[in-house]
Amino acid sequence: MSTADTLLKKYQIAAPPENVLRLGKLVQGAFDTNAHEIASIVKADPSIAARVIKIATRGRDIDMDIDSAVVRIGVHQITLVVMTELLMHAVSKTFATMLRLTLEPRDILNPYGDQVVGCIHFKGKATGRVFLRIPCKAADWMVPRFLGKDLPMEPAELLPDVVGEVLNIVGGNFKSNLVDAGLTCSLSVPQVETKTGFATGVQDGEYHLSIPFAAEGMGLFLDLIISPIAD
Amino acid sequence: MSKKILTIDDSKMVRMIVTSTFLPYDCLIVGAADGAEGVEVALKEKPDIIFLDITMPVLNGIDTLAKIRATPEIAAIPVVMLTAESDGQRLGMADQLKVSGYIAKPFKGEQLIALTKKIIPLAPKPPEPKKP
């Protein structure tokens, strides 16, 4: 048993998701991993496989096997897909534990009016940012679920702090996964603002994946933007 | 005898959750929003247990823990890490600094209570005296 495993057991902390191992295999081979090995990593997780096919076919109804999809989109994009799965796991776990809510991933959702937008940056061997977008109208159910019914002020006033803390937890989990996969990085303090529109500010060369979720009949968005990881 | 619990976390939300979690118990909750303030409050209040976040401004949780362990008046106070960062590196650092427990966020209030009870005795809050 490794030191990390011993400590996880000692402090009764759940082991990291299996996708941490997959991400580690992708990046620790300094992207020398061959297409066959990458395809086997992709095939091991149906959710990753589905997303890889969707990206490779650009969402069109075309028959494509995993091996062809891997060759078409390349290892960097696949690395982003695996990271996105880790992020989705972190956000689902956080909503389930802190808000007793099951998030339902959706293919497409329209933004829902004014929203609270939280952003957290990570910097190091992996560099990028994560956005969490929650409609302002979610305050009435989200804040009491997070803090209980006895609130010191109106839910709408507390929503930015709740979004900031949810993002802090999601970001911390995600950053721990990256570190365990060999991508040492540091995390910023979340920044939160209320706005009507949203622009990711994606720069040339950055990868961006947006993941819509539904909860309590409303759309929530998670965006991952990441710079290419050095080979 | 009432127990004193110090929660050091830059998130007001987490400090509120910790406070409401211990409401049914005979406890006094004190808070600090960063590590430097946390050490000051610990020296002043001498809490029975400390819950400590890692990612905080001014002084992060690991440096705060090192400072607590190096300050004789508060060195022996049990510290439980309450943080979203539970990678092998963080766990290793906290373990070397003799933490009494490690709770990974997201967390449930029951986890806080169960771990606290393993470290210090917790009694139910006594009933409020009746007003004449």
Evaluate whether residue A27 is within a structural domain.
yes
What pLDDT does residue A59 have? 77
- Please name the member of B11, B83, B88 whose beta carbon is closest to the beta carbon of A180: B88
For A26-36, the pLDDT digits (tens) are 777 655 667 78
What pLDDT does residue A111 have? 64
Q: Alpha-carbon distance A79 to A202, whole Å?
A: 18
Torsion of CA A170, A175, A178, A182, to 10 degrees: -160
For the domain that residue A138 is a member of, what is the CATH number? 3.40.1550.10
**Which of chain A's residues have a Cβ under 8 Å away from the Cβ of B105?**
94, 169, 172-173
Cβ neighbours of residue A133 closer than 8 Å, sequence gap 6 or more: A111, A115, A116, A117, A118, A198, A220, A221, A222, A223
Q: Give one word for A30, left, alpha or beta, with left for phi > 0 and alpha for psi -120 to 50.
A: left
Q: Considering chain B, what is the average pLDDT of its residues? A: 93
For A39-78, the pLDDT digits (tens) are 888 888 888 898 889 889 987 888 888 889 988 988 888 8
pTM for the predicted model, two decimal places: 0.89
**Which of chain A's residues have a Cβ under 8 Å away from the Cβ of B114?**
none
For the domain that residue B68 is a member of, what is the CATH number? 3.40.50.2300
Evaluate whether residue B126 is within a structural domain.
no
Evaluate whether residue A231 is within a structural domain.
no
Instruction: Give the closest-approach CA distance of A216 to chain B in angstroms.
Output: 20
Per the structure, the count of domains in chain B is: 1
* Residue A65 structural domain: 3-226
Please report, rounded to a whole number, the percentage of residues in chain A having pLDDT higher than 70.
94
What pLDDT does residue A29 have? 65
Evaluate whether residue A61 is within a structural domain.
yes
Contact A176 B84 (CB under 8 A): yes
Evaluate whether residue A160 is within a structural domain.
yes
Q: What is the ipTM of this complex?
A: 0.86
Per the structure, the count of domains in chain A is: 1
Contact B88 A179 (CB under 8 A): yes
For A116-145, the pLDDT digits (tens) are 999 999 999 889 999 999 999 989 999 999
* Residue B8 structural domain: 3-119
Evaluate whether residue B130 is within a structural domain.
no
Q: Is A192 on the interface with B (CB under 8 A)?
A: no
Contact A4 B91 (CB under 8 A): yes
